[in-house]
Amino acid sequence: MPFHFRSFCGVLRQPLRNIHLRGFPASHIFRARISGMAPPILSLALPSETGRVLSIQSHTVQGYVGNKSSVFPLQLLGYDVDPINSVQFSNHTGYPTFKGQVLNGKQLWELIEGLEENNLLYYTHLLTGYIGSVSFLNTVLEVVHKLRTVNPKLTYVCDPVMGDEGKLYVPPELVSVYREKVVPVASMLTPNQFEAEKLTASRIESESDGREACNILHAAGPSKVVITSINIDGNLLLIGSHLNEEGESPKQFKIRIPKIPAYFTGTGDLMTALLLGWSNKYPDDLDKAAELAVSSLQALLQRTLNDYKRAGHDPKSSSLEIRLIQSQDDIRNPQVNFTAERYN
């Protein structure tokens, strides 16, 4: 019996109309390109229950930062992830030297156009991390708009990577673009203390200041804000805030985080990926999502520290590459050892 691609498409589409696929419209699930006899894109035709993520971040050949630190954990949590590498370097920039290429805004848009021309531009989530230029960030904003014309319910998770410990490591003009253009279109923000201060033009010197910074950011746009690390009187905290409904007070909480005497690369990228992954599974319980994310990350960091010591290396002497692959069980099924404390 001859194979008819049109008939095959019809057979496959029929039951999909009766299945709830986490916001995937039936009209977009399957568009056969009969002339080229192209097979279906299964991540669109039969999407994962969790979602489909476009991740625009840096990439290194060796080591785990940017997309290398984000894609694998999200896949372990059940997501289809399509990475676009904003840079491709041999290794992270903390090494004595690095080589590689930088993607510009025009090249990013060409990739988006290629996806659009082949009906591949349906995503449930957009994730962005380090961005090094205003032109590229402005193109990312165009990408957000384009993706939301395809899926108005797109969740945009933004890690506004600008600096840390009082020091910017992006051009200063990026700060205003983040504050004025990116924050209003983001669904979730995951700044550190320094970045939250830059975005709110305020100082964070207490827990109350951290909570107020979250309120300022809510008023500007995102319903979920997680300040991933705040140093208050020598104590390290995560402060999270979820504004469920306009006009209501946000649900706010903190998680106490132990200080580890070492510096790790890629942890911010990993943390944001974990927060995306778990907050989508628990959309009304940001506390629980943060508990799972922090517990995964802390288990991974402790394993990394122990492995360096076992190899005879002093962890305080240099930045450490995280043991991502070896920690996959802690990512997939974390034991919750860090619990959220709800503010009244």
Q: What is the CATH number of the domain that holds 225?
A: 3.40.1190.20
269 is catalytic: yes
Would 284 be classed as within a structural domain?
yes
The alpha helices in 118-192, defined as continuous H runs, are 134-150, 173-177
Tell me the C-alpha distance between 158 and 188, whole Å.
Answer: 6
Whether the Cβ atoms of residue 123 and residue 52 lie closer than 8 Å to each other:
yes
Would 215 be classed as within a structural domain?
yes
Would 21 be classed as within a structural domain?
no
Would 65 be classed as within a structural domain?
yes
What are the 10-residue block averages of pLDDT along the chain, 344 residues in total? 40 38 48 58 80 95 95 97 94 89 95 96 96 95 98 97 92 96 98 97 97 97 97 95 90 96 92 98 97 98 95 89 96 97 93
Would 223 be classed as within a structural domain?
yes
Whether the Cβ atoms of residue 56 and residue 128 lie closer than 8 Å to each other:
yes
Tell me the C-alpha distance between 14 and 344, whole Å.
Answer: 50
| Catalytic residue selected from 269, 285, 287, 329 | 269
Would 15 be classed as within a structural domain?
no
Task: Provide the residue range defining the domain that includes 109.
Answer: 47-342
Residue given tokens 């194979």 in the structure block: 3
Burial class (CB in 10 A: 0-12, 13-18, 19+), 203: exposed
What is the model's pLDDT at position 37? 61
Would 280 be classed as within a structural domain?
yes
Tell me the C-alpha distance between 161 and 215, whole Å.
Answer: 20
Look at the chain and report how many structural domains it folds into.
Answer: 1
The alpha helices in 129-266, defined as continuous H runs, are 134-150, 173-177, 193-200, 207-220
Would 38 be classed as within a structural domain?
no
